[in-house]
Amino acid sequence: MNTSNATLQLPGTSGTNKSVLSRCLRQPGVMIGGTIILLFVLVAVAAPLIAPYKPNTSDWMAIRQGPTVAHWFGTDDLGRDILTRIIYGTQASLLVGIVSVAIAIAIGVPLGMVAGYFGGIGDMVISRITDALLACPFLVLAIAFAAFLGASLENAMIAIGISAMPIFVRLTRGQVMTVKAEDYVDAARLLGVPHRKIMLTYILPNAMAPIIVQATITMATAVLAEASLAFLGLGQRPPSPSWGTMLDVARQFLTESPWMAIWPGVAIILLVMGFNLLGDGLNDALDPRRDD
């Protein structure tokens, strides 16, 4: 009884934290994606220091001007510096991407684990509610929640988080059901390891990879969803910048002032790409079947 734990080498516990980290760092995706996101985080934090202007200050003599020495990215329809607004918009977009996905994971993953691990009536109730929520289009759900909560960036994050939650429930449940059929889980259960410990140390790490990938995709969706909500007056309030609202305004000047759309578009692409590369790399690094 005392010796059993020491002799059993289980997949869930095999890699120490150090070796997981080094496996991650060997993935170019993790490195590149992580660097991009880190850069955006730095930009968001240092916004007041690095932005050349104030985000809401208009220059009425410089309406929709192309890139110049004074305004590297040009100015928008109200004569505001686009570079400055991209820099400040990073705060809103990153915050929405990360916080709303954190909310979705914090609610979705535990529910999915409980449903997948224990099954039974709990599983049925959770799964039916999830099915019902998944039947509603993501954005419609987010609009409904945001309208209910009221207009602000914080409420938009909560609304997007709740709307994105069902996909995590379903994904986690499926993963848990696959993993719990593995021999090492049976072995752990036979050894009398408590359910909570089995879930957290044996099942969760082995079910985590697809959840992380989903999280990166959802972060990208969340950034775009914030833009949609802002357009309906349910997200970032004007004049504070967010990339989505900048794009929305730019749409009207696509042919005459393309720079208004290009920069927020590039910023969204870069951030989404960063999340996706990171997710991809983590997926490879964390895959227990991967031989390295």
Partner 1 sequence: MGTQIKLAMMATAIAMTFTSAQAANLRVGMQDDPDALDPATSGTYAGRIVFSAMCDKLVDIDAKLEIVPQLATAWTWNAGGTEVTFTLRDGVKFQDGTPFDAEAVKFNIERMKSMKDSKRKGELAPIDSVTVVDATHVSFKLKSAFAPLLAVLSDRAGMMVSPTAAAEGKEFAANPVCAGPFKFKERRARDVISLEKFDGYWNAAAIGYDTVQYLYIPDSTVRLSRLQAGDLEIAERIAPTDLGAVRGNPALALHTSPGLAVSHLMINVGNSEKGGALGKEAKLRQALELSIDRNVINKVAFAGEFTADNQMIPPSSVFYDKSHPAPARDIEKAKALIAEVGGDAPVVEITYENSLADGRVAQIVQSMASEAGFQIELVPLETASAVERYLAGNFQAYIGNWSGRADPDPTLYSFFGKDGSQNVNKYGNPDMDKTLGEARASADVEQRKALYAKATGIYLTDLPTIPLYHPNWFYAARADIGGIAIYPDGLLRMTSVKPAK
Residues that bind partner 1 (CB under 8 A): 56-58, 60, 63, 77-79, 151, 231-233, 237-239, 249, 251-256
Nearest distance from C-beta of residue 232 to partner 1, angstroms: 5
Cα-to-chain-centroid distance, residue 102: 7
Query: Between 103 and 261, whose beta carbon lies closer to partner 1?
Result: 261
Token duo for residue 271: 């951030």
How far apart CA 203 and CA 188 sit, in angstroms, is: 11
Nearest distance from C-beta of residue 259 to partner 1, angstroms: 15
Q: Which residue has the tokens 């100015």?
A: 75
Element (H, E) at 288: none
Nearest distance from C-beta of residue 237 to partner 1, angstroms: 6
Give me the amino acid identity at 184. Y
Question: Following DSSP, what letter does each residue of 41-56 receive, concatenated?
Answer: HHHHHTHHHH-SS-TT
Query: Between 25 and 254, whose beta carbon lies closer to partner 1?
Result: 254
> In this structure, what are the phi and psi dihedrals at residue 74, rounded to the nearest 5 degrees?
85, -175
Query: Between 256 and 291, whose beta carbon lies closer to partner 1?
Result: 256
Token duo for residue 85: 């607004």
Nearest distance from C-beta of residue 230 to partner 1, angstroms: 9
Cα-to-chain-centroid distance, residue 273: 12
Burial of 182 (0-12, 13-18, 19+ CB in 10 A): middle
Query: Between 48 and 150, whose beta carbon lies closer to partner 1?
Result: 150
Cα-to-chain-centroid distance, residue 137: 18
Nearest distance from C-beta of residue 234 to partner 1, angstroms: 8
Nearest CA-CA partner of 64 in 56, 74, 53: 74
Nearest distance from C-beta of residue 249 to partner 1, angstroms: 7
CB-based contacts of 175: which residues, under 8 Å, 6+ apart? 112, 116, 206, 207, 210, 211
Query: Between 161 and 241, whose beta carbon lies closer to partner 1?
Result: 241
Query: Between 59 and 287, whose beta carbon lies closer to partner 1?
Result: 59
Q: Is 240 helix (H, G, I), strand (E, B) or coil?
A: coil
Query: Between 197 and 251, whose beta carbon lies closer to partner 1?
Result: 251
Nearest distance from C-beta of residue 231 to partner 1, angstroms: 7
